[in-house]
Amino acid sequence: MLGGFYKLFNQEKTIIGMIHLAGRDQKERIDRAVEEVRIYLEEGVHGFIVEDYHGDLGDVTAVLEIFSRDPTIPMGVNILRDPYLAFDLADDYGASFVQFDTIQASPGSPRNNRRFNEEKYLERRDRYPEIVVLGGVRFKYIPLTGRSLEEDIIEGISRCEAIVTTGSGTGIETPTEKLRMFKRIMGDFPLVVGAGVNDKNVREQLEVAEAAIIGSYFKGGNTSDRVSRGLVKKFVALSGIR
């Protein structure tokens, strides 16, 4: 869907907050998620992703159900344990986008592997053409494809509405030079920084990329902790997006 990312997020630069679903039991996980979305909304974050990072599918579904009535800002889904379910959940609960950690196969099988099944992915894309995909290319923890960066990016552009890339791990800064290399090939196609954006590098990174997904920074570096309103407020102010 050409231009789908820019139709969904129509500001110049976009900040998307991650919901990790941490908590001792389902009630706490859901209550925390609701509070975190409220903070994101009130402090000027442009969208949020519900992810089964600490929680399970039941937690994800419960949170999506709560916000399906009035998400206010764009709502996304990322299911790490079975990413293809994200499309079905997005359709069921009115989420406008999904995140895939990778949209490419790695060596060992040219088309399918445990990280990415091309047939399943393309079937879901055909079934749900209105759902915007933020697709991972050279994403953290994912083995390289063995091809050139240009080949990876050209394939990625054909499979999603925005490319997401990261550095080597959760909370680790994505090298700005890596972002520049991507943008030299991508041109106007939207690039999302998927990890490691913080108050010290946000302006530099958003000079290159169109968007950033923020998770651990909003929790002081620990995905199990609560989102800090103070950190969200500080980040938004320093980013210059308001």
Q: How many CB atoms lie within 10 A of CB 45?
A: 23
Asked if residue 5 belongs to a domain, the reply is no
pTM over 0.75, yes/no: yes
Q: Is the pLDDT assigned to residue 93 strictly greater than 70?
A: yes
Asked if residue 6 belongs to a domain, the reply is no
Could you give the C-alpha distances from 139 to 8, 157, 168, in angstroms and in order? 23, 15, 8
- Residue with the bigger pLDDT between 1 and 85: it is 85
Question: What's the confidence (pLDDT) of residue 112?
Answer: 46
Could you give the C-alpha distances from 181 to 45, 58, 178, 240, in angstroms and in order? 27, 39, 5, 24
Asked if residue 70 belongs to a domain, the reply is yes
Asked if residue 189 belongs to a domain, the reply is yes
Confidence of residue 206 (pLDDT cuts 50, 70, 90): very high
Asked if residue 3 belongs to a domain, the reply is no
Question: What's the confidence (pLDDT) of residue 113?
Answer: 46
d(CA 86, CA 188): 26
Asked if residue 1 belongs to a domain, the reply is no
Write the burial class of residue 20 (CB in 10 Å: 0-12 exposed, 13-18 middle, 19+ buried): buried
Range of the domain at 89: 12-239
Question: What's the confidence (pLDDT) of residue 105?
Answer: 87
The count of domains in the chain is: 1
Residue 15 exposure: Cα atoms within 13 Å on the Cβ side: 28
Percent of the chain whose predicted confidence (pLDDT) is above 90: 83
Question: What's the confidence (pLDDT) of residue 172?
Answer: 87
> pLDDT for 125-173, tens place per residue?
999 999 999 999 999 888 888 999 999 999 999 999 999 999 887 888 9
d(CA 130, CA 107): 31
> pLDDT for 64-77, tens place per residue?
999 997 768 999 99
Question: What's the confidence (pLDDT) of residue 168?
Answer: 84
Asked if residue 144 belongs to a domain, the reply is yes
Asked if residue 35 belongs to a domain, the reply is yes
* Residue 126, domain CATH: 3.20.20.70
The SS3 assignment for 7 reads helix
